[in-house]
Structure 1
């Protein structure tokens, strides 16, 4: 079954491409920042046709100490280390989360964060504006993971492990949240990846609470140990899988400028008033708004969702990227005056091999603005726009925007050159 949404949007995509902020190559300071890299494997998880894995893996293998993150990439592999394509195992998302835990407290792998003794466990979220721990990850990507640049341009880095910020008796660790769906033999592969409740035969969420009658699909229907409907008689062996992740980092130094992470959500209920509360719903649905004509072409059908966003303080954008699901066309973050801060467009696969799966989003374009060229002013209200094709319905889609913001600009006297 094709996992696509039609070809009616070419002209719109070209228009959006024209709006992208001109981006520089990632800049490195010559002989200043030396990075290290390492490849790790998550704990093993097993999936069979239709089955779902959605778990947190605490205290994963990770670089320690006072460091600057420069890059984090991940993908699903099998026991032989082969990349597994999305049409077999759909990676709904993975998320890397920072936390601190008292040194003498055991770190139980599957213990939910909200059930932990809060005097022993401290969740360290990003600077994003969503409520509580919602969208508090440092990195978080979905099917686009193999063709998405996550590199933080020099001389910037995500500062972690600063001993001055870690309470006495605590240590800093990381957990990885993995949400993967085995769609081999699925009666409706797209429906399974969009977590349609009828395909999972689910009427209650993971906590046993009844779902609203108008909740058609989304995260509340494809939680851990649920199973999507497969074709009658389909046989497929369970297999062992891993998240293979590559980390690049540098020891912290005065040559590195820290960046703050912000994640904005187009479903945030914030109205723009300072007293208003943020409530990010994370996902939403797309209703079908047009039909395919008799000659096989589609009318131009676009669902546009817009929302306001504001960061606590001003700064310079050094990196930006959106996160969308199948059917996504583009997402743009605008300044208060209408200027484009960053625009990000999905890259769809055209083949069968891992990283180029036809009909799936296999990458997102990113923004690397020239230093100082994109500034968000103090108190500025931005507009986040998320565009999807509405030539067919979609459930549980997302419209997130991830940016890195620096307080300072690089010293122009430092020698810079493009990476080799």
Structure 2
């Protein structure tokens, strides 16, 4: 009975999250008067056998051309028939989409999948606005297992402006690259260990560049690079499967009414250390991207006391209105919060865990992250302000190679107010009225959840945290 009710509550939350994203999209479409375009593409095929890892870069991927405003980017792993593939079979560690400039023309040889980022002078990185750069977190979009239920849509009148001919260096063209990191977990001895890239399960002692691993490096990206193999159960024989990353891009052709946003990616491992990278126009910030979570000490029984908190402080060079924010975490994640210098909460992004078998609701996996959409002008960050990023993970089990990343879109406040005030009056009331049903649904789901809260806490204490099945 309890399991059925838990599944029903989760399905309510997933439905609410999906409707929330759809309503946000519909509202934007109304304000944009049908100007938003969408197109669906697929990455080149990648083939995986049981326990195998795919981690390649694809250059010159299919992407809308011209001077445009990006409004969203959604993705998922599908098979040859176009069907969604469950995380319990192919774990999507992450995908990222980067922009770059290249000398014309780009050849078919250059388009072939690569195991690493190209560093030739023929390529110039055109990464986001910071603050982790030099090929570290320079992407515009990117998620992981949570991709199916995380909204990336950018509301009106905002957009990420790309393809501006005035910004493209002479003799170069703008293009896009895609990185897909997927891990096949069919027949492996430890699903969670494989998805967390534990080095002993991959039997590796050096990274993809043939550099020896540190003695204290027990798991993470350096152990599950392209072509590695996670340990299988004895006698496992499985067929290879052909997969694709299907991605959907939403955009508008550039026009003066669009308000540009700056894209920042914050990292809970950011040490604040800086050194100039000669291959980039940006300073490199000491973002280590991944970190480990130790298990709770014996004798701690309260789930609230068994939480790891990783905290980083960073300065955003140019402030403005917060338009959108969302976090990226791995299994065990308990949410990320961004605070202002005065302690005010700017955004909290919480994970949604699956409780079933079907794609998008896989037990023990993060299948969605909550996105923040403040009313324009209601949440601001001041230029030069020191922000605090706080990433929380459960310590009921140890974890390796986890991430605490935070996507943040900011727009100039003066331009925001001037342009947004020109929107029709009915647009504002439409925004409020359309969200009333969502508020009621959330209230309903919360009330239903309260009826299970006491039992849920008791159950977690008895059974422990529910993770990916080993």
TM over 0.5: yes
Aligned to 1:242: 244
Q: 2:234 matched to which residue of 1? A: 232
Contact 1:290-1:391 within 8 A present in 2 as well: no
Instruction: Tell me the equivalent position of 1:362.
Output: 367
Equivalences for 1:70-219 in 2 at 5 Å? Answer: 70-106=71-107, 107-111=110-114, 115-118=118-121, 120-219=122-221
Shift of 1:45: 0.3
Cα distance change, pair 342–388 in 1 and its aligned pair in 2 (3 A): same
- The answer on whether the counterparts of 1:348 and 1:362 sit within 8 Å (CA) in structure 2 is yes
In structure 2, what is the equivalent of residue 278 of structure 1?
Answer: 285
Shift in Å, 1:128: 1.4
Higher mean C-alpha deviation, range 362-371 or range 405-414:
405-414
Asked if the contact 1:317–1:374 (Cα under 8 Å) also holds between the matched residues in 2, the reply is: yes
Which runs of 5 or more residues in structure 1 are unaligned? 1-6, 8-23
In structure 1, distance between residues paired with 2:73 and 2:304: 39
Q: 8 Å contact 1:131–1:279 — kept in the other structure?
A: no
Kindly tell me: are residues 114 and 53 of structure 1, through their superposed partners in 2, closer, same or farther at Cα, counting changes over 3 Å? closer
Provide Cα deviations, 1:45-77, integer angstroms capped at 9, x if missing partner. 000000000000111111101011111100000
Q: Within 5 Å, give how 1:34-53 maps onto structure 2.
A: 34-53=35-54
Change in Cα spacing, 1:245 to 1:25, as seen in structure 2 (3 Å) is closer
8 A contact 2:273–2:286 mirrored in 1: no
Aligned to 1:4: none
Deviation at 1:292, TM superposition (A): 8.2
Runs of 4+ in 1 over 2 A off after TM superposition: 24-33, 104-117, 290-293, 296-300, 416-420
Taking a change above 3 Å as real, the CA distance of residues 304 and 87 of structure 1, as seen in their structure-2 partners, is same
In structure 1, what is the equivalent of residue 442 of structure 2? none
Provide structure 2 residue ranges, at least 5 long, that are not aligned to the other structure. 1-5, 7-22, 275-282, 436-470
**2:59 alignment counterpart:** 58
Equivalents in 1 of 2:57, 2:66: separation in Å? Answer: 22
Distance 1:140 1:280 in 2: 16
Q: How does 1:230-309 map to 2 (within 5 A)?
A: 230-270=232-272, 278-291=285-298, 300-309=305-314
Tell whether 2:323 aligns with 1:321.
Answer: no
Q: Residue 168 of structure 1: CA displacement?
A: 2.3
Distance 1:221 1:78, change over 3 A: same
Q: Take 1:372 and 1:297, find their aligned partners in 2: how far apart are those partners?
A: 40
CA separation in 1, counterparts of 2:136 and 2:284?
14
Alpha-carbon offset, residue 108 of structure 1: 3.9
1:109 positional shift:
2.2
Q: Conserved in 2, the CA contact under 8 Å of 1:345 and 1:364?
A: yes
Summarize the Cα distance change of 1:33–1:334 in structure 2 as closer, same or farther, 3 Å threshold. farther
Shift of 1:133: 1.5
Post-superposition shift, 1:126? 0.3
**Contact kept in structure 2, 1:317 and 1:369, CA below 8 Å:** yes
2:351 to 346, 355, 363: 346
- Asked whether the equivalents of residues 291 and 391 of structure 1 are also in contact (C-alpha less than 8 Å), the reply is no
Deviation at 1:299, TM superposition (A): 6.9
Q: Shift of residue 99 of structure 1?
A: 0.7
Query: Alpha-carbon deviations, 1:135-162, whole Å to 9, x = none?
Result: 0001010000000000001100000001
CA deviations 1:289-344 (Å, max 9, x no partner) are 14588xx9857400011110111111110000011100000100000000001000
By how many angstroms is 1:31 displaced? 5.0
SS in 2 for 1:163: coil
| Larger relative contact order (CA 8 Å, sep ≥ 6) | 1
What is the CA–CA distance in structure 2 between the aligned matches of 1:40 and 1:298, rounded to whole Å? 43
How far apart, in 1, do the equivalents of 2:400 and 2:120 lie? Answer: 35
- Cα distance, 1:183 vs structure 2: 0.2
- Cα RMSD after superposing both structures: 2.1
Alpha-carbon distance in structure 2 between the residues aligned to 1:113 and 1:167: 24
Shift of 1:34: 1.0
User: Aligned partners of 2:390, 2:191: CA distance in 1, in Å?
Assistant: 28
Looking at structure 2, the residues matched to 167 and 353 of structure 1 have their Cα atoms a distance apart, in angstroms, of 46
Aligned pair in 2 of structure 1 residues 133, 269: CA closer, same or farther (>3 Å)?
same
Contact kept in structure 2, 1:39 and 1:245, CA below 8 Å: yes
* Residue of structure 1 equivalent to 2:423: 414
Contact 2:94/2:142 (<8 A) preserved: yes
Q: C-alpha separation between the residues in 1 aligned to 2:194 and 2:232?
A: 10
Preserved CA contact (<8 Å) 2:57 2:117: no
Cα offset, 1:79, TM superposition:
0.2
